[in-house]
Amino acid sequence: MKDITTREDVEFLVKEFYNQVIKDDLIGFFFTDVAKIDLNKHLPKMYNFWESILLGNPVYEGHPMAKHFPINEVSALEERHFNRWLQIWEKTVHENFDGENAENAINRALNIARIMNHKMANARRN
């Protein structure tokens, strides 16, 4: 297997991940019923997000944390949800890629999940 080295690799990874996550019994409803994401609009943003993180190309513009607070108000984003998101992400990475950027993708996702879980839990307390 090859490492994540191109925009095309990032797009493949993100598409594969979303193909799985939107069907997941535990967290799929956040994407389909709560956020009601339009994949045609959402995926290019996610390609840019992960390309910025993994390849160092500053193509992402936005505030990902801010987008999740309204979802958290409708249906609480809990640690078990972030753990499942991470589990699916790791599985998708490991099934398709191997190398430094692949491991970085997993480590960065772990950090994102931890930070988002902490911020969403604090938002529910306030």
Q: What is the pLDDT of residues 3-38, one digit of tens each?
A: 999 999 999 999 999 999 999 999 999 999 999 999
How far, in Å, CA of 4 to CA of 8, rounded? 9
Ordered by start, the domain boundaries in the chain are 7-125
Q: pTM value?
A: 0.93
Which of the four pLDDT bands, split at 50, 70 and 90, describes residue 62?
confident
Homologous superfamily of 7-125 in CATH? Globins (1.10.490.10)
Was 118 annotated as part of a binding site? Answer: yes
CA dihedral defined by 99, 103, 105, 109, rounded to 10 degrees? Answer: 170
